Structure 1
Amino acid sequence: MTPLPDCYCPVDGTRVAAESFAWCCPVCRGPLDLDFAPTPAPLKSLGGRVNSLWRYTEVLPLPTPSISLGEGRTPLVELEDGVAAKLDFLMPTLSFKDRGAVLLTELALRLKPREVVADSSGNAGTSIAAYCARAGLPCTVYVPAGTSPKKLEQIGAHGARVHVVDGDREAAARAAREKADEPEVFYASHVFNPFFLHGTKTYVHELWEDLGGRLPDVLVLPVGNGTLLLGAALAVAELYTAGLIERRPALYAVQAEAVAPLAHAWQEGAGDLVDATATAPTFAEGIAIPRPPRARQILRAVRDSGGRFLTVTEDQIREAQLDLASRGLYVESTGVVSWAAVREGELGARGAVVPLCGAGLKTGLAAGTGPSGG
């Protein structure tokens, strides 16, 4: 069996063996990164490989999949005025979270836990539940009150135990982490576990291949906990370091105006979260995260790329969802925020690509006042 790269704390450098059940830095309790700097394969070598994200095996810390559902390789379609959309809502569980969930579950299989736990407002929990079902691993997903009934139904259909926490998204996370501290429990955290980020980075590796060995000038990405943006930053760094792209695209991070702690910190010129900002209900429940644990990394990644933060209103989210539906693309309200931001600005002229991250069937059309989640 191929050895796994170790994890380390990006704050204090503490190292943690990847093959342990530790889910955070034992010193500061913060998220971990992976001691892994792979070299991507050149474009010409990808032809004829498996048609899933596992075709990028050189950049994945787990190179031998056993539970793949064919995740990845989602279509890239033109929208308008030089803006393209990557249809990640066409993944096996209908969201981009499958990219990271398959790696977390592959890791769990190696560790042989007595239980897998996750916390989620829906999509990440659904992905973990599906891949645990595929792997034959017992799974419990902690969700906040107010989670979409359709997402709860999907999690339960995969055989996972759904634990509804009386509270918000952060309350669900606290409950899951308390359980994760028990012996032989694997915390399949899409926030704390770096293996997840090395799954989401395949979004950019696919873009690079789809565009014939280049990347667009701008990547516009929804940000709550930042797992897609940080994965994108990893992939950009890998491709640039290997000399496979000439310049790095700017990362534009989009938050709902109702819950925008990172955008607020950016406006203040801060390198970390500033004093708590007011929040309100939002249609974009999947990115409604008041205190993202990887805030410093997200802010630094955007700044280093030459990008910036954007916010969108509830009306803009609703209008963007309806606009995409009129184009034949039914996307959940969280998954349309990047398109909402592009519609309001001038990014199209710079060749932007937006991810459509989750299927509309998960939440339905935005109407009235949206619930707050994350």
Structure 2
Amino acid sequence: MVSLADRAGRHYPLDEPRWRGEDGSPLLVTPLPGITRDDIDSSVRSQWRYAAALPRPVDHPVSLGEGCTPLLPFEVDGLSLSVKPEWFNPTASFKDRGTTVMVSTLRQQGVPAMLEDSSGNGGSSVAAYAAAAGITATILAPSSTSAAKIQQSRVHGAAVELVPGTRQATADEAVRRSATTFYASHNWHPFFLQGTKLLAYEIWEDLDLTAPEAVVLPCGAGSLVLGLHLGFGELLASGAIKRRPRLLVAQPANCAPLVAAFEAGATAVTPAGWTPTLAEGTSIAQPVRDREVLAAIRASQGAMVAVAEQDIAPAMFELAGRGLYAEPTSSIVLPAIRTFARRGLLSGTGPVVVVLTGTALKAADTVGGLLTP
């Protein structure tokens, strides 16, 4: 029987509103068999066309039309790639993929109010879907969060509270408040990953039901890394693909705890002092699913790279000069591609998909500060 499981091996029912295990660890849905082409509902023009891959039916999804983002040709230094601009999602980031499944599940479970912590995109996504679901939302965000992201959350009707200090301080405050309001963190809730995994199914369908050679993506807490790991793993289990794509993952050097652990051969991150970065969406000092993220990248025979802070703004402007208005958090993939290519990890023997997770329209104040007067 499919259930939720914590790191200690305890199991919990799927219909119980729960965001972590009794041991305090994050939860995952137990392994699923995956789907094949016959299970795609081609009448649905959103990522809910892959609803058969979810662990339980959702009677009335809270959907705003997320997914079905374009796959565009993309060339870097003569290397032919494809890019997935995730700002075509309803609130302009990939977070909508996880939020739609998480909020649909919470509404089905009868949760009336929810608490989220976010450096921006996750909060604005939760605010929008909570509004669509009729669920009261409170968003905690670092005081340094881009004003456009805070504004979006407030306009959707969420109560937004700014927390002084680091991104980690905001997460810690949210956990403290979880005693009184259901904590629907996109970093903790297991059904958020059930939504982000559907990007793997979409890439598979984009590529005529084949797997890419690799996926290049940015990473903070790692929900997209884990989603792709789950999705491609299910496609492998169903026989729809024959091999896992390599996950090639970038973090900013100013806050790269997962890269440090990966390069050290460690199974978990080590607390360290990190400094602010333009890539605010990836500034997570203590990812709650660090063990699972590191294991996922290794299982794919993937790699990680830390992108120097001075390379982030030029990468953003280079992408913008090609018509791709990616926020700094997403833009770290461009210098990462060059590093991975130098390491021989992008051979050109199969398609490579690059994920741009959000738009610079959500970081207008940061971008404005980078423009030359």
- TM over 0.5, shorter chain: yes
Unpaired runs of at least 5, structure 1: 370-374
Q: How does 1:179-190 map onto structure 2 within 5 Å?
A: 179-182=177-180, 185-190=181-186
Root-mean-square deviation over aligned CA pairs: 1.8
User: Do 1:87 and 1:355's aligned partners in 2 also have CA atoms closer than 8 Å?
Assistant: yes
Corresponding residue for residue 358 of structure 2: 358
CA–CA distance in structure 2, aligned partners of residues 62 and 94 of structure 1 = 27
Whether 1:69 and 2:100 are equivalent positions in the alignment is no
Whether 1:137 and 2:139 are equivalent positions in the alignment is no
CA–CA distance in structure 2, aligned partners of residues 263 and 55 of structure 1 = 34
Deviation string for 1:320-366 (max 9, x for gaps)? 21111111111111012222311344155433211111111000354
Cα distance, 1:47 vs. partner? 6.8
- Which residue identity does 1:6 align to in structure 2? S
Choose which of 192, 198, 202 in structure 2 pairs with 1:196.
192
TM-score (norm 2): 0.92
Deviation string for 1:285-341 (max 9, x for gaps)? 101111111111111111111111111112221122111111111111101222231
CA–CA distance in structure 1, aligned partners of residues 122 and 353 of structure 2 = 23
The 10-residue stretch of structure 1 (360-369 or 117-126) with the greater mean CA deviation from structure 2: 360-369
Choose which of 76, 87, 93 in structure 1 pairs with 2:91.
93
Corresponding residue for residue 250 of structure 1: 246
Cα distance, 1:124 vs. partner? 0.6
Cα distance, 1:172 vs. partner? 1.2
Total equivalences in the alignment: 360
The 10-residue stretch of structure 1 (207-216 or 109-118) with the greater mean CA deviation from structure 2: 109-118
Question: Percent of aligned positions with the same letter in both sequences?
Answer: 38
Cα distance, 1:162 vs. partner? 0.2
User: Do 1:83 and 1:348's aligned partners in 2 also have CA atoms closer than 8 Å?
Assistant: no
Corresponding residue for residue 277 of structure 2: 282
Cα distance, 1:368 vs. partner? 6.3
- Which residue identity does 2:5 align to in structure 1? Y
Whether 1:57 and 2:34 are equivalent positions in the alignment is no
Cα distance, 1:282 vs. partner? 0.6
Q: Secondary structure at the match of 2:64?
A: coil
Unpaired runs of at least 5, structure 2: none
Whether 1:6 and 2:24 are equivalent positions in the alignment is no
Cα distance, 1:45 vs. partner? 5.5
Whether 1:262 and 2:237 are equivalent positions in the alignment is no
- Which residue identity does 1:108 align to in structure 2? L
User: Do 1:62 and 1:106's aligned partners in 2 also have CA atoms closer than 8 Å?
Assistant: no
User: Do 1:36 and 1:61's aligned partners in 2 also have CA atoms closer than 8 Å?
Assistant: no
- Which residue identity does 2:35 align to in structure 1? P
Q: How does 1:316-355 map onto structure 2 within 5 Å?
A: 316-346=311-341, 347-350=345-348, 351-355=351-355
User: Do 2:42 and 2:49's aligned partners in 1 also have CA atoms closer than 8 Å?
Assistant: no
When residues 144 and 246 of structure 1 are mapped into structure 2, their CA distance, relative to the original with a 3 A threshold, is: same
When residues 45 and 265 of structure 1 are mapped into structure 2, their CA distance, relative to the original with a 3 A threshold, is: closer
Cα distance, 1:188 vs. partner? 1.3
User: Do 1:54 and 1:63's aligned partners in 2 also have CA atoms closer than 8 Å?
Assistant: no
TM-score (norm 1): 0.92
Corresponding residue for residue 102 of structure 1: 100
User: Do 1:78 and 1:84's aligned partners in 2 also have CA atoms closer than 8 Å?
Assistant: yes
When residues 284 and 162 of structure 1 are mapped into structure 2, their CA distance, relative to the original with a 3 A threshold, is: same
Q: How does 1:135-174 map onto structure 2 within 5 Å?
A: 135-174=133-172
Deviation string for 1:7-59 (max 9, x for gaps)? 110x21122233333321112x11111124132132x6637320110101111
Corresponding residue for residue 372 of structure 1: none
Corresponding residue for residue 35 of structure 1: 30
The 10-residue stretch of structure 1 (150-159 or 109-118) with the greater mean CA deviation from structure 2: 109-118
When residues 130 and 47 of structure 1 are mapped into structure 2, their CA distance, relative to the original with a 3 A threshold, is: closer
Q: Secondary structure at the match of 1:82?
A: strand
CA–CA distance in structure 2, aligned partners of residues 110 and 20 of structure 1 = 10
Q: Secondary structure at the match of 1:84?
A: strand
- Which residue identity does 1:239 align to in structure 2? L
User: Do 1:108 and 1:186's aligned partners in 2 also have CA atoms closer than 8 Å?
Assistant: no
Choose which of 291, 303, 310 in structure 1 pairs with 2:305.
310
CA–CA distance in structure 2, aligned partners of residues 214 and 128 of structure 1 = 32
Q: Secondary structure at the match of 2:254?
A: coil
Deviation string for 1:62-105 (max 9, x for gaps)? 53343210100100001112211001111000000000001111
User: Do 1:82 and 1:348's aligned partners in 2 also have CA atoms closer than 8 Å?
Assistant: no
CA–CA distance in structure 1, aligned partners of residues 124 and 292 of structure 2 = 26
